């Protein structure tokens, strides 16, 4: 029996990581002009071997160095220092119209920017002398356990970013046991996504203006074991996506084959609508939904119902009254309306209205692990990302998505340790100072 077999699987993994860190450290030293001969290197090897692994992990970071030159745009997922590094790589990889679709907000993109910028108005309080070497980042949601509170929000038409579309995303999320929500108008089938993820994902729902189509979508979700429908309620008034329009002008490709007029053509490549009669559908988004529709949907299925797009405490209270199972604070990544209301800014108001009776999810503008921490501190159960994982998908496929998740999780775990929070329940409103003005009203 080898020495490694004496340890548990978790201990073995940690030991291998420690050994790998030592090897990398020695490899770095071997290339250094400070080490002039083999005798010196051998002595250092003995010294490094005697250093406790935890101490080495803490001190080694400052000695990390790129092994090759990296330009302005990263060429592999390993080159990324943060998730924002993936955006220029995605822009380089995509046709201008496709990147424009991913990048755009509405009007002047001010709400899009507010989503992220408002995170800088929240400060984190730290506590010292707490042993946080072992932390638990698992999220419990509707009876399921996920490895992280970071989940993948629904983004439509991911085939515009990569040939494997949502299947590549599902593989990356499933490998890390992270939660994922599939868009009604995704390019991969629910069946394929569930298989790639390893467990049923949630389905974001655009119900259309034909109730028979809505019923067919519900049936398809139920037959595939979907635990929850996420009804999007923020696309009722149309939108002015100026950034998309500007970048589309730079794209001289013929797009009629993919973007012909009429609803049937619009969803012809969307698997959720396969074998469903859509001849009576006139609109996917502006369907005139009301609270009565939410009640009707609630009564039509045993799946859990979340409302995505709630941005006020008043609407959250109404959602409770009609019996929904959860709230999703979202403004469609700043592409629903130019309200200048960030999702993190309104989150406390919604959480207060809900009063802990149902879970509250949030997305919009999350770019750092510290952003995740701040959202959890203000009451979110889970924190979604959209553009970042699509940047990774567009640039590098599944490895790019995995790298984005790795970076955000690493940053999140780092701030948890720095703060002294060893589990999600220890991240509370007292963990932050919220300077967003309209959050205090």
C-alpha distance from residue 273 to each of 23, 75, 187, 228, 270 (Å): 53, 37, 11, 18, 6
Query: What is the pLDDT at residue 65?
Result: 58
Which CA distances in Å does 419 have to 131, 373, 422?
Answer: 10, 10, 9
Dihedral sign for Cα atoms in the order 417, 143, 167, 269? negative
CB 217 within 8 A of CB 272: yes
Q: Write down the domain spans for the chain.
A: 3-63, 83-440
pLDDT at 412: 98
Backbone angles phi, psi at 440, to 5 degrees: -95, -5
Residue identified by tokens 């939904």 is 289
Q: Residue 31 class from Cβ within 10 Å (0-12 exposed, 13-18 middle, 19+ buried)?
A: exposed
Q: What is the pLDDT of residue 427?
A: 98
Q: What is the rounded distance in angstroms from the CA atom of residue 407 to the CA atom of residue 430?
A: 26
**Which tokens go with 272?**
């959720």
Q: Is 249 annotated as a binding residue?
A: no
User: What would you report as the CA-atom Rg of the chain, rounded to the nearest whole angstrom?
Assistant: 24
CB-CB contact of 244 with 101 (8 Å): yes
Nearest-5° Cα angle at 300, 298 to 302: 75
pLDDT at residue 17, as a whole number: 55
The residue with tokens 């592409």 is 335
Q: Is 335 marked within a binding site?
A: yes
- Torsion (CA) 317, 321, 326, 331 in degrees, nearest 10: -50
How far is Cα 43 from Cα 26, in angstroms, rounded to an integer? 11
Binding residue per annotation — 268? Answer: no
186 to each of 158, 159, 378, how far by Cα in Å? 6, 8, 31
Residue among 374, 329, 347, 364 at smallest CA distance from 114:
364
Architecture of domain 83-440: Alpha-Beta Barrel (3.20)
Is 91 annotated in some ligand binding site? no
Q: What's residue 7's pLDDT?
A: 43
Question: For tokens 């959602």, what's the residue?
Answer: 319
User: Looking at 265-409, which runs of residues are DSSP E strands?
Assistant: 304-310, 326-329, 360-363, 382-385
C-alpha to C-alpha distances, 267 to 190, 193, 239, 282, 340, nearest whole angstrom: 15, 18, 19, 12, 31
Any known ligand binding at 365? yes
Q: Which of 98, 116, 179, 332 is catalytic?
A: 332
386 is in an annotated binding site: yes
Judge whether 397 is annotated as a binding position.
no
Q: Find out whether 330 is annotated in a ligand binding site.
A: yes
Bin 225: left if φ > 0, else alpha if -120 < ψ < 50, else beta.
left
User: How many Å separate Cα 266 from the centre of its chain?
Assistant: 26
Mean pLDDT by 10 residues, the chain (441 residues): 44 52 54 52 48 49 66 95 98 97 97 98 96 97 97 97 98 98 97 98 95 97 98 89 92 76 77 94 84 97 98 98 98 96 98 98 98 98 98 98 98 97 97 85 57
Structure confidence at residue 12 (pLDDT): 47
Distance (Å, whole) CA 383 – CA 380: 7
- The widest CA-to-CA distance across the chain, in whole angstroms, is 81
Catalytic status, residue 332: yes
Measured CA to CA, the distance from residue 73 to residue 88 in angstroms comes to: 6
State both tokens at 431.
């963990």
The Cα 341–Cα 348 span in angstroms is: 13
Instruction: Report how far residue 312's alpha carbon sits from residue 314's, in angstroms, rounded to the nearest whole number.
Output: 5
């Amino acid at each position: 029996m080898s020495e490694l077999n004496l340890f548990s699987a978790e201990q073995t993994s940690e030991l291998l990581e420690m050994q790998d860190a030592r090897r990398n450290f020695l490899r770095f030293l071997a290339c250094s002009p400070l080490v002039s001969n083999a005798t010196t290197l051998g002595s250092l090897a003995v010294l490094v071997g005697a250093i406790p692994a935890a101490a080495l992990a803490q001190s080694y970071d400052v000695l990390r160095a790129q092994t090759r030159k990296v330009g302005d745009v990263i060429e592999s997922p390993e080159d990324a220092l943060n998730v924002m590094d993936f955006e220029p790589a995605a822009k380089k990889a995509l046709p201008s119209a496709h990147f424009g679709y991913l990048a755009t907000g509405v009007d002047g993109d001010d709400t899009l920017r507010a989503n992220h910028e408002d995170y800088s108005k929240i400060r984190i309080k730290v506590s010292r002398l707490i042993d946080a070497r072992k932390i638990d980042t698992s999220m419990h949601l509707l009876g399921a356990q996920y490895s992280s509170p970071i989940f993948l929000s629904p983004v439509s038409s991911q085939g515009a970013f990569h040939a494997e579309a949502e299947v590549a995303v599902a593989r990356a999320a499933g490998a890390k046991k992270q939660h994922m929500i599939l868009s009604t108008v995704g390019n991969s089938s629910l069946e394929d996504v569930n298989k790639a993820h390893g467990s049923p994902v949630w389905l974001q729902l655009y119900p259309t203006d034909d109730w028979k189509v809505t019923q067919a979508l519900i049936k398809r979700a139920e037959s595939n074991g979907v635990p929850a429908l996420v009804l999007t309620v923020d696309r009722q008034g149309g939108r002015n996506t100026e950034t998309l329009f500007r970048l589309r002008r730079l794209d001289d490709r013929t797009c009629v084959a993919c973007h012909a007029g009429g609803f049937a053509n619009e969803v012809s490549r969307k698997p959720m609508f396969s074998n469903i009669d859509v001849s009576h559908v006139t609109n996917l988004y502006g369907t005139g939904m009301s609270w009565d529709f939410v009640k009707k949907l609630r009564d039509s299925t045993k799946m859990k119902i979340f409302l995505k797009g709630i941005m006020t405490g008043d609407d959250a209270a109404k959602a409770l009254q009609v019996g929904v199972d959860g709230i999703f604070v979202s403004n469609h990544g700043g592409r629903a309306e130019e309200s200048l209301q960030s999702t993190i800014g309104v989150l406390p108001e919604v959480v207060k209205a809900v009063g802990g009776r149902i879970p509250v999810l949030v997305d919009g503008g999350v770019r750092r692990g510290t952003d995740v921490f701040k959202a959890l501190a203000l009451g979110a159960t889970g924190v979604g990302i959209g553009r970042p994982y699509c940047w990774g998908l567009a640039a590098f496929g599944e490895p790019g998505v995995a790298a984005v998740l790795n970076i955000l999780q690493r940053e999140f775990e780092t701030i948890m340790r720095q703060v002294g929070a060893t589990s999600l329940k220890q991240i509370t409103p007292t963990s932050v100072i919220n300077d967003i003005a309209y959050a205090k009203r």
